[in-house]
Amino acid sequence: MTSGPGSQSHSVQPAGGVATYLIDPDDSNVTLRARSRASTGIRGVFRHVAGTLTLDRERPERTAFAVYATASSLDTGSEERDTRMCGAAFLDAGRHPLVSFWSFSAEVQDAGLLRLVGNLSLRGVTHPLVVDAARRERAPGPHGAERVAVAGRSVLKRSEWSPLRSPGVEAGGWFAGDDVELIFEVSAIKQEPIEWWP
């Protein structure tokens, strides 16, 4: 496009060293793991995920991470168990379709290691959550775009988001104990600055 007289083309460039990445849902996982009463454990993977990652290479403490998962996409390998866990006893996916985590600060632990401080929203309830994360930069993908991989882990207390005391499987009888491990393994694709003309 050719700009007219007296006009300029503008490129919206982020501040020096700052880049935004979009999570690649085909190369990312959000996983729940917990002890089970009936087996060695429960492992469920959310099949539908999305989100963003903002990195500041000069000030890594400004790292911002946001990931969203569709609650009803949880896959534990058992259709019956999926129905129970997505029901009112745990995720309550019918009324609360999204599980989300977003960080508002980052503590640098070491090179590539971060402690992300943020909030987890689950079944309509939001509580603080700290995620220990590691960042690994990758070579450009097959289409040339830069990718970054982030792996994170946290342990949440199920009792803070869902009831524990009601009897039966419907109230969480799949679980043995209160701890649920939440694991993020995401790959994110760098987004190019947007150019615009007034």
Cα separation, 66 vs 103, whole angstroms: 6
pLDDT > 50? residue 118: yes
Residue-wise DSSP of 128-175: EEEEEEEEEEE---TTS--EEEEEEEEEEEGGGTS---S-SGGGTTTE
| Both structure tokens of 99 | 């599980």
The domain locations on the chain are 17-192
Q: Which residues fall within 8 angstroms of residue 58, CB to CB, at 6 or more apart? A: 16, 17
| 61-117: pLDDT as tens digits | 899 999 999 999 999 998 988 998 898 878 899 999 999 999 999 998 877 799 999
φ, ψ of residue 79 in degrees (nearest 5): -60, -40
Cα separation, 98 vs 48, whole angstroms: 10
Architecture of domain 17-192: Beta Barrel (2.40)
Cα separation, 180 vs 166, whole angstroms: 18
**pTM of the full structure:** 0.80
